[in-house]
């Protein structure tokens, strides 16, 4: 099977998933930023009382707040971005849905939910790249050794 | 494995790569990842600042271009990269950093790819090194573009359909 077929047929649970960090809507923006920094993640999910995702607060929102000199106090609810349907995937969904969801939402992170809609993990660009890289072991070896050009100018030019 | 060939008569042409076996790929997506060039991905526009810029200058450029990273350059060479992750880790809790030189807050010596490298190499760097933004260089090491998560995802999905 080729990579394309694998992406179309294999499921999200084949991807390297990461532990999702969740906060309540009342959590302060400063606390959410602290959690992102501590967990070395670029995203926290804002969840309701049933652990269902309401929105996400990412480093992109932090950047926007800092650029606009907006204060970081106040609840994270004020700054989160709602998660559209394509921003959530289930472990049984095909990996192609992750790719599609990332493109549609223009974000690096997708929320992995269970059958009851609860947040169970985080996936996104890094996991997808790791998955793809596993398909090219030969190329990795060659490219890690040859990471610099040996020529200073075009051959024969 | 080399192919069996007949002895060459004196004066007869012998193809020097007669036993070359071209690589084969299971599908079009694999071929595109290994047999095309980074230059064929979307690597522009490129947001950049010079090394004497301040953090505020870099933030202004990021806001203007609606992007999450800028390349810090010395002339046309890449010195470092400053991204939304640096803002999260170093700037968000320190408002006084805005007036300081960007060189103190950027990530130095970023991993780079050449425009002539294959897309698989860029993806390998993202996966193995955890780099989200990778400057793209020409043969003279000048920065000609940047690859990020959105552009890589777009490229993959275009060739998945």
Instruction: Tell me how far apart the alpha carbons of residues A29 and B151 are, in angstroms, rounded to a whole number.
Output: 29
- Give yes or no for a contact between A110 and A86, defined as CB atoms under 8 angstroms apart: no
Nearest by CB: A63 against B33, B87, B93:
B87
In 3-state terms, what secondary structure has residue B78? Answer: strand
- Give yes or no for a contact between B160 and A96, defined as CB atoms under 8 angstroms apart: yes
Specify the pLDDT at position A152: 42
- CA contacts within 13 A on the Cβ side of A112: 23
In a domain, A55, yes or no: yes
Check residue B21 and report its DSSP letter: -
Residue B36's nearest CA partner among B142, B149, B155 is: B155
Residue window 37-66, chain A: list those with CB within 8 Å of chain B: 37, 42, 59-60, 62-66
The tens digit of pLDDT for each residue in B41-62 reads 999 889 999 999 999 999 999 9
Tell me how crowded residue A25 is: count the other CB atoms within 10 A of its CB.
15
Tell me how crowded residue A153 is: count the other CB atoms within 10 A of its CB.
9
In a domain, A156, yes or no: no
Domain region containing A8: 3-145
CB contact under 8 A, A3 and B88: no
In 3-state terms, what secondary structure has residue A67? Answer: helix
Residue A55's nearest CA partner among A43, A65, A41, A45 is: A45
In a domain, A153, yes or no: no
Nearest by CB: A33 against B88, B118, B160:
B88
Instruction: Tell me how far apart the alpha carbons of residues A137 and B74 are, in angstroms, rounded to a whole number.
Output: 35
Residue A41's nearest CA partner among A116, A130, A108, A92 is: A108
Mean pLDDT of chain B: 89
Specify the pLDDT at position B11: 77
Instruction: Tell me how far apart the alpha carbons of residues A113 and A126 are, in angstroms, rounded to a whole number.
Output: 18
In a domain, A96, yes or no: yes
Print pLDDT tens along chain A (157 aa): 788 888 999 999 999 899 999 999 999 999 999 999 999 899 999 999 999 999 999 999 999 999 988 888 889 999 999 988 888 999 999 999 998 888 888 778 899 999 999 999 999 888 888 888 887 666 554 454 444 444 444 444 3
In a domain, A12, yes or no: yes
Task: Give the DSSP H or E segment for A70.
Answer: none
- Overall number of domains in chain A: 1
Q: For B38-160, give the CATH class.
A: alpha beta
The tens digit of pLDDT for each residue in B113-130 reads 999 999 988 988 888 888
Identify whether B45 is preceded by a cis peptide bond (ω within 30 of 0).
Answer: yes
Check pLDDT > 60 for residue B104.
yes
Specify the pLDDT at position A141: 44
The CATH number of the domain holding residue A24 is: 3.10.580.10
In a domain, A152, yes or no: no
In a domain, A150, yes or no: no
Specify the pLDDT at position A150: 42
In a domain, A151, yes or no: no
Instruction: Tell me how far apart the alpha carbons of residues A58 and A108 are, in angstroms, rounded to a whole number.
Output: 9
Specify the pLDDT at position B4: 58
Nearest by CB: A129 against B30, B127, B160:
B127
| Distance from the B122 Cα atom to the nearest Cα atom in chain A, whole angstroms | 10
Query: Hey, is the C-beta of B1 within 8 angstroms of any chain A C-beta?
Result: no
Q: What is the pTM of this model?
A: 0.82
Structure tokens belonging to residue A138: 């030969």
ipTM: 0.80
Q: At what angle do helices B149-160 and A95-105 cross, to 10 degrees?
A: 130
């Amino acid at each position: 099977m080729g990579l394309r077929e694998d992406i179309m047929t294999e499921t999200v649970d084949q991807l390297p998933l990461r532990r999702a960090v969740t906060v309540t809507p009342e959590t302060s923006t400063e606390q959410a930023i602290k959690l992102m920094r501590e967990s070395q993640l670029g995203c926290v999910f804002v969840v309701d009382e049933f652990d269902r995702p309401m929105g996400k607060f990412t480093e992109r929102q932090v950047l926007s707040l800092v650029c606009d000199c907006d204060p970081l106090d106040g609840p994270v609810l004020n700054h989160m971005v709602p998660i559209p349907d394509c921003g959530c995937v289930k472990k049984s969904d095909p990996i192609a849905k992750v790719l599609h969801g990332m493109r549609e939402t223009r974000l690096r992170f997708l929320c992995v939910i269970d059958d009851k809609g609860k947040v169970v993990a985080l996936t996104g660009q890094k996991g997808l790249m790791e998955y793809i890289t596993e398909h090219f072991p030969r190329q990795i070896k060659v490219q890690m050794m040859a990471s610099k050009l040996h020529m200073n100018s075009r051959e024969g030019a | 494995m080399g192919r069996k060939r007949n002895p060459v008569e004196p004066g007869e042409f012998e193809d020097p790569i007669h036993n070359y076996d071209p690589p084969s790929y299971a599908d079009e997506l694999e071929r595109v990842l290994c047999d095309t060039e980074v230059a064929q991905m979307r690597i522009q526009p490129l947001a950049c600042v010079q090394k004497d810029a301040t953090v505020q200058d870099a933030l202004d450029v990021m806001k203007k271009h609606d992007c999450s990273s800028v390349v810090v350059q010395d002339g046309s060479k890449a010195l470092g990269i400053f991204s939304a992750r640096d803002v999260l880790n170093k700037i968000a809790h320190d408002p006084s950093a805005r007036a300081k030189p960007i060189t103190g807050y950027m990530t130095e010596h970023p991993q780079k790819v050449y425009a002539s490298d294959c897309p698989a190499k860029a993806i390998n760097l993202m996966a193995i090194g955890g780099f989200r933004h990778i400057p793209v260089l020409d043969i003279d090491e000048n920065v000609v573009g940047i690859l990020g998560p959105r552009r890589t995802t777009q490229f993959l999905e275009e060739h998945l359909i």
